[in-house]
């Protein structure tokens, strides 16, 4: 097949199969040679003259970057979340934005459960204790954690990932509550989940797990007020986006043991942590690795490449976020509005 005459930027190295797809299909593909986030000035310079950009959640794609990328047809985000992109600004410039839903659902749900176990059963804390030579033998009161089986799991945001987390509770005979603007009948049938308001979920859950998109409505959805409603024996899990939780308020709640613990894969100002968080034994804090399996990251990158190539070919990308930029062509194929 003839190559697409297109100049493509990949803002940071992603799994090779995706780079191979792009190199095979496009006349020019440039990958940031350094394994680091491009600084703003570098990003502004790098996007210039590109037809398409494969970008990451660590790239802030705002109006300035979109203007610098004048002529670009698509920004293909290698993430399901796209809060790093000003979609309205892209739409105003008729630039397609795509994301990678579905392929990371299982990996992220698995990581959520890993956090649940880790924080409730104090695994990282116990590991540090043993390595430090402090383990002097079995003791009846050593490292007592929270019970899991038979407890109540509260899911905030019952979309793909929230649902997958809830379904994994089946082996643990848990009661499942969920809070979402939409009813999820499949979830209700599968695990007898009950849709409740946010305060009821916070009041009754032993594990509160957050799975919403980050937008103006969900920024600090969990703050001091919400943390105060939770049981002192309850745990908070967040594998969505850091700013959904007021991290400063969470540190205070954890420090004062107003809740039992937190498992956080995401942070409000990544890679910075709120002061005091790193010193808390009742917080488990991996570095945003929810989707970090070889298989999942490969699927994310190849899906981003698929979306990017579709847009360059004038086809509708499978995961377009702003379909308004597409218009049906006389041949029935979707084409970019110009």
Q: Is 270 a catalytic residue?
A: yes
DSSP 146-193: ---TT-EEEEES-SHHHHHHHHGGGGGT-EEEEE-SS--HHHHHHH--
For position 11 contacting ligand DGY by CB under 6 A, the verdict is no
End-to-end CA distance of the chain: 26
Contact 174, 149 (CB under 8 A): yes
Least CB distance to ligand DGY at residue 216 (A): 18
Q: Taking CB under 6 A as the rule, does residue 104 contact ligand DGY?
A: yes
Q: How far apart are CA 296 and CA 292, in angstroms?
A: 7
Which position among 57, 97, 164, 305 is part of the footprint of ligand DGY (CB under 6 A)? Answer: 57
Is residue 112 a contact residue for ligand DGY (CB under 6 A)? no
- Catalytic annotation on 241? yes
Say how many CA atoms lie within 13 Å of 22 toward its Cβ.
28
> Minimum Å distance from CB 100 to ligand DGY?
6
Instruction: Say which of 241, 268, 297, 316 is annotated catalytic.
Output: 241
As measured in angstroms, the least distance from the Cβ of 42 to ligand DGY is 22
Instruction: Name the active-site residue from 42, 188, 270, 315.
Output: 270
Sort strands 334-336 and 326-328 into parallel, antiparallel or unpaired.
antiparallel
Q: Please indicate whether residue 168 is annotated as part of the active site.
A: no
- 8 A C-beta contact, residue 207 and residue 151: yes
Interatomic CA distance for residues 304 and 97, integer angstroms = 10
Helix-then-strand count for the chain, H and E = 12, 14
Least gap, CB of 24 to ligand DGY (angstroms): 25
Closest to ligand DGY by CB, 81 vs 286, is 81
User: Which residues between 210 and 249 bind ligand DGY (CB under 6 A)?
Assistant: none
Q: What span, in angstroms and rounded, lies between the C-alpha atoms of 236 and 201?
A: 12
Binding string, residues 65-84; x marks residues near ligand DGY by CB under 6 A: --------------xxx---
How many Cβ atoms from other residues are within 10 Å of residue 158's Cβ?
A: 26
- How many residues belong to the site for ligand DGY (CB under 6 A)? 7
Residues 282-311: x where in contact with ligand DGY by CB under 6 A, - otherwise, as a string: --------xx--------------------
Q: Is 61 in the site for ligand DGY (CB under 6 A)?
A: no
Chain positions contacting ligand DGY, by CB under 6 A: 57, 79-81, 104, 290-291
Catalytic residues: 241, 270, 288
């Amino acid at each position: 097949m003839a190559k697409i005459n297109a100049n493509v930027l990949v803002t940071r190295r992603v799994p090779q199969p995706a780079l191979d797809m792009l190199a095979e299909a496009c006349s020019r593909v440039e990958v940031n040679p350094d394994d680091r986030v491009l600084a703003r000035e570098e990003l502004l310079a790098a996007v210039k003259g590109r037809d398409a950009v494969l970008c990451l959640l660590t790239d802030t794609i705002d109006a300035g970057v979109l203007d610098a990328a004048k002529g670009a047809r698509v920004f293909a985000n290698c993430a399901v979340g796209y809060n790093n992109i000003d979609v309205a600004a892209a739409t105003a410039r008729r630039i397609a934005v795509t994301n990678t839903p579905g392929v990371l659902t299982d990996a992220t749900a698995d990581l959520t459960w890993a956090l649940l176990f880790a924080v409730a059963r104090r695994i990282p804390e116990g590991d540090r204790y043993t390595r430090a030579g402090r383990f002097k033998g079995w003791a009846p009161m050593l490292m007592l954690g929270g019970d899991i089986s038979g407890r109540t799991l509260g899911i905030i945001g019952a979309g793909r990932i929230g649902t997958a987390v809830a379904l994994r509770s089946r082996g643990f005979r848990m009661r499942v509550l969920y809070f979402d603007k939409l009813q999820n009948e499949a979830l209700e049938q599968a695990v007898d989940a009950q849709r409740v308001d946010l305060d009821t979920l916070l009041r009754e859950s032993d594990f509160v797990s957050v799975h919403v998109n980050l937008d103006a409505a969900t920024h600090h959805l969990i703050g001091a007020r919400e943390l105060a409603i939770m049981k002192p024996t309850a745990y908070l899990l967040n594998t969505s986006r850091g700013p959904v939780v007021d991290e400063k308020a969470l540190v205070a709640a954890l420090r004062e043991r107003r809740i039992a613990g937190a498992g956080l894969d995401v942070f409000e100002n990544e890679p910075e942590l709120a002061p005091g968080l790193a010193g808390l034994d009742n917080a488990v804090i991996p570095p945003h690795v929810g989707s970090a399996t070889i298989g999942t990251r490969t699927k994310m990158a190849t899906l981003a490449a698929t979306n990017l190539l579709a847009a360059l070919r004038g086809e509708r990308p499978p995961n377009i976020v702003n379909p308004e930029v597409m218009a049906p062509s006389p041949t029935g194929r979707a084409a970019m509005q110009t």
